[in-house]
């Protein structure tokens, strides 16, 4: 079984993915890390040198590759992955995969991202909390139609990592 974690940046995909992988005794694969390893370039370098269209094509290629895996893995996707090409359709049509949307509210995301925006190229240029809130709100509005197609939706607001992991395992098993 492949458990696929989707959601906006800072929704907890990597952190929850690690805890879930520990609990289920399986590997965590971060799609962006996997792409970087295969391409021998960072995601930022791919965008800069080859462009977003190239990146999105490779993202779909590597997503298909991982979905074809026979291994039990936790697969953490980039925030935009479900929203491009036919990626969400691929995810939903994969029989041995279950998609989980880690849904965090706009205030929760802003609170988390305001502290780390320098490390996030997509939002590093935003100077005020108001600009950040507007940017994330617009993105969430555009992406929620994709995210909400996930087979399981877990609200993460005001929950501990342990509680989120327990909720996921309860819903899946």
Considering its fold, how many domains does the chain have in total? 1
Q: Does 173 fall in a domain?
A: no
> Is 143 labelled as part of a ligand binding site?
yes
> Is 71 labelled as part of a ligand binding site?
no
Q: Does 172 fall in a domain?
A: no
Q: What is the pTM assigned to this prediction? A: 0.94
> Is 10 labelled as part of a ligand binding site?
yes
The predicted structure's pLDDT at residue 127: 87
Q: Does 106 fall in a domain?
A: yes
Of 81, 93, 99, 80, which is closest to residue 2 (Cα–Cα)? Answer: 99
Q: Does 160 fall in a domain?
A: no
> Is 80 labelled as part of a ligand binding site?
no
CB atoms inside a 10 Å sphere around CB 101 = 25
Burial of 119 (0-12, 13-18, 19+ CB in 10 A): exposed
Within 11-96, strands assigned E span 27-30, 73-76
Q: Does 34 fall in a domain?
A: yes
What SS3 class is residue 153? strand
The overall longest dimension of the chain from CA atoms, in Å, is 45
> Is 103 labelled as part of a ligand binding site?
no
> Is 11 labelled as part of a ligand binding site?
yes
Ranges of residues in the chain whose predicted pLDDT is under 50: none
Q: Does 159 fall in a domain?
A: no
CATH number at residue 147: 3.40.50.300
> Is 155 labelled as part of a ligand binding site?
no
Q: Does 171 fall in a domain?
A: no
Q: Does 91 fall in a domain?
A: yes
Structural domain boundaries, residue 20: 2-153
């Amino acid at each position: 079984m492949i458990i696929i974690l989707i959601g906006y940046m800072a929704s907890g995909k990597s952190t929850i993915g690690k805890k879930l992988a520990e609990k289920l005794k399986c590997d965590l694969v971060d799609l962006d890390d996997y792409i970087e390893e295969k391409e021998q370039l960072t995601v930022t370098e791919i965008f800069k040198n080859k462009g977003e269209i190239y990146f999105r094509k490779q993202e779909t290629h590597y997503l298909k590759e991982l979905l074809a895996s026979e291994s039990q893995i936790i697969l953490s996707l980039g925030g935009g992955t479900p929203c491009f090409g036919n990626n969400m359709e691929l995810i939903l049509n994969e029989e041995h995969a279950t998609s989980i949307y880690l849904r965090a509210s706009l205030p929760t995301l802003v609170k988390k991202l305001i502290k780390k925006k320098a490390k996030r190229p997509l939002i590093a240029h935003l100077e005020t909390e108001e600009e950040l809130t507007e940017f994330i709100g617009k993105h969430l509005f555009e992406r929620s139609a994709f995210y909400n197609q996930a087979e399981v939706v877990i609200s993460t607001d005001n929950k501990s990592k342990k509680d989120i992991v327990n909720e996921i395992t309860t819903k899946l098993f």
